[in-house]
Amino acid sequence: MDQGSAAGTGGTFISLSDTEQRCFSGLYALCQPDSSGKLAAGKVAELFRASQLPAETLHQVTEVCGAKRLGYFGCGQFYVALKLMAAAQTGLPVRLESVAGELPLPVFIGITNEHEMRYPNHPSTNEIQAHILGSLPGSAPHPPADRAVLRHPDTSMDKQEAWSPPRSPGISPPRSPSAYRSYPYAAQRNGTDTLLVYDGKVAGRPSIPQENSSPSHYSLKVQSEQPVITRVASVERLVERAEMDYSDDPWRITEEQREYYTNQFRSLQPDLNALIMGTVAKNFFTKSKLPIPELSHIWELSDVDKDGALTFPEFCTAFHLIVARKNGYLIPETLPATLRPGFMETGVVTAPPSEATEPLIVFDDHTMPGANQLEMGSVDLQMTSRPGVTAKQDTRDESRKPEFSPKRIPDPHEKPIQRVSTLKPDSPQELDANMKSRTRPRSYSSTSIDDAMKKVEEPPTPPPRPQKTHSRASSLDLNKLFQQSAQGAKSGWLPRPPALPPRPPATQIFSFLPGSEKSSQKAVQQPNFADFSKFSEEQESSVRGGLSTEDLAPPKSDSTLRHQGHTPQKPVRRKLHPESQSATPPLATPCSAATLTKSTQRPPPKQKREIQMAIRKNRETNAVLTRLNSELQQQLKVVHRERVTLESQLELLRPVTST
């Protein structure tokens, strides 16, 4: 039942039922696979014909399963083809999606039944399978190939092609104890290969142990004097175990993988105890060309403390999940126990764990018992047994907590949750939730720094200005209007420092009074006031009064006159008094239409202060200017009266002179 259960568990990916597994392996054997896993074309053709499908369908099947591209039927292609034929026989279209569901066995006239009968029982099927696997290293990756092909028609097709070359390279002697030499792991290594390829690094290509070298691999575990049959048997049982743990194996990180991950981690972050930031990790993992939702899911699984950064174990977990995914394994909904960050840690309660050394320690401890058993063989080495991994997990999390406590505001709620979780370590999912809730102490006040920081980080870019659109109350719209206008009023002053020409001393005014008086009289309503202002400016610029208030006065009067709409004068004024800001609020609205639009576009809250300061200053100057205005108006009246008297005198005198 191990085989069946393995197929079942493995088959969760491709829904190969027990019977299907048996049948397919039987058929595979029937088609006389040769040493490299290719099936005899003739036999395959015969089988296909026996399926009684039309030739066109068979062509389609060949094409879809990838054999056409490869040019031969490997194990994976064959299995896919069988599933496709079953689908076709039930009437489904010949597409890879149709093999995802439950399908009846493909019917081959004259062939299937006898195989089913010949290999009905489980062990012998297993034997056949083992024999196949033992003799055909290329077939070893078949379950992953199957899964790859069936779950990822697009990507895994390429992957399968990428795999077939790795099947052929020669043996390289095992570098380390044959912990890594089980077939499913070879598949994993293939996946690592692809990973290496895409990463641009070329690590040592792992070998696919061929039959004659397999004894050497297992010699550490298997006594070398064993005859071939027992070797095959041991291989078979090995494979059986491998098959049994096959669904677990992809989720265990082996030593070599860990080394590789360590190197990768170092390339991103030299300190093994430090964190890789989220963005760095994102860029790195995006290179794997997995779709973003999947990467997002992988991140969710691996970032167990939910801090937006990866520690070294988390990084290994994520990397491993990506490798597995690229090899076609579905990412589970919850993190497998073997991939939990606490997995490799021994029980360290108080001291922060030294992650670099502990995995090795755990490894060595558990290889010893495994070494003695023939049957467990190398699988046990892989199977780093984990007594009470959940307990370790708890301690790991506890130890992790002090690491991250500086980053978090500890929450008293978390302590009771911790206690509870240590009591029930059995359900991993619950533990996951507990872990999550535990390792992220939450403070629920709105004033917490962390929360505020997080929330600050949430929006990527600060929006320019929140538009207060409120459908219910028009009053809020008015608010918005006022806001805008006030804001425009506030900031409208900044871009327009109306330069007020310096107020000339009174003598100056009197000097050119005759000429300008008339114009000033008329200038209240007339545009020649422009000329006057120019005159005054020229005069005033030469005589720069010390009092800015005096300087501001005539421009003030001018600006009041200007209120009638002589906007072009302002730039002229601005030249002389760039620093003075004669804020005339009443003038703002009519005259600053253009500037208002500009100012509303840049109201960052930081400048609000400045704007308000400017407003205050402007108001003060405004008050001063109004006072000055009144004074000058008085003076103007006085001057006007004098002028009238002078004119009358002139009139009196003129008739005398004329005659």
Partner 1 sequence: MAVCIAVIAKENYPLYIRSVPTQGELKFHYTVHTSLDVVEEKISGVGKALADQRELYLGLLYPTEDYKVYGYVTNSKVKFVIVVDSSNTSLRDNEIRSMFRKLHNSFTDVMCNPFYNPGDPIQSKAFDSIVSTMMVQAF
How near is the Cβ of 469 to partner 1 at its closest, in Å? 8
Which one of residues 224, 279, 511, 601 is an interface residue with partner 1 (CB under 8 A)? Answer: 279
State both tokens at 235: 């291989």
Question: Which of 407, 454, 518, 641 is the binder for partner 1 (CB under 8 A)?
Answer: 454
471-500: contacts with partner 1 (CB under 8 A): 471-472, 476
Report the nearest approach of partner 1 to the CB of residue 592 (Å): 24
Choosing from 415, 455, 518, 522, the residue that interacts with partner 1 (CB under 8 A) is 455
- Binding segment toward partner 1, per CB under 8 A, in 250-258, 266-274, 450-458, 650-658: 450-458
Give the interface size with partner 1 as a residue count (CB under 8 A): 39
Contacts of 75 (CB under 8 A, 6+ apart): 28, 33, 37, 39, 132, 136, 138, 139, 142, 145
Instruction: Using the minimum distance from each CB to partner 1, give the nearer residue, 452 or 594.
Output: 452
Q: Is residue 343 classed exposed, middle or buried when 0-12, 13-18 and 19+ CB atoms within 10 A define those classes?
A: buried
The Cα–Cα gap between 264 and 284 comes to 10
CB 449 within 8 A of CB 441: no
Interacting positions 295-334 with partner 1 (CB under 8 A): 295-297, 299-300, 303, 306-308, 333
What is the smallest separation between the CB atom of 464 and partner 1, expressed in angstroms? 12
Question: Closest approach of Cβ 97 to partner 1, in Å?
Answer: 21
Between CA 170 and CA 296 the distance in angstroms is 38
CB atoms within 10 A of CB 522: 13
Among 440, 496, 570, 573, interactor with partner 1 by CB under 8 A: 440
Which one, 246 or 265, has the nearer CB to partner 1?
265
- Nearest distance from C-beta of residue 188 to partner 1, angstroms: 24
Full 3-state SS string of 97-155? HHHCCCCCCCCCCCCHHHHHHHCCCHHHHHHHHHHHHHHCHHHCCHHHHHHHHHHCHHH
Q: Of the candidates 53, 111, 281, 552, which one interacts with partner 1 according to CB under 8 A?
A: 281
SS3 call for 600 = helix
Which of 436, 480, 617, 640 is close enough to bind partner 1 by CB under 8 A? 436
Among 446, 525, 658, 659, binds partner 1 (CB under 8 A): 446
Q: Binder to partner 1 among 95, 122, 131, 282 (CB under 8 A)? A: 282
**DSSP-assigned states of every residue in 186-250:** HHHHHHHHHHHHHHT---PPPP---GGGHHHHHTTTS-TT--HHHHHHHHHHHHHHHHHTTTTGG
Determine the interface stretch with partner 1 among 90-98, 106-114, 198-206, 454-462 (rule: CB under 8 A).
454-462
Residue 554 and residue 540 in contact, taking contact as beta carbons nearer than 8 Å: yes
From its phi and psi, is residue 317 left (phi > 0), alpha (psi between -120 and 50) or beta?
Answer: alpha
End-to-end, the C-alpha distance of the chain in Å comes to 144
Residue with Cβ nearer partner 1 (131 or 297): 297
Q: Is 560 left (phi over 0), alpha (psi -120 to 50) or beta?
A: alpha
**Residue of the chain from 456, 568, 656, 658 that contacts partner 1 (CB under 8 A):** 456
Q: By C-beta, is 303 or 394 nearer to partner 1?
A: 303
Q: Does 412 bind partner 1 (CB under 8 A)?
A: no
Binding site for partner 1 (CB under 8 A): 278-279, 281-282, 292-293, 295-297, 299-300, 303, 306-308, 333, 436-437, 440, 442, 444, 446-447, 451-452, 454-460, 463, 466, 468, 470-472, 476
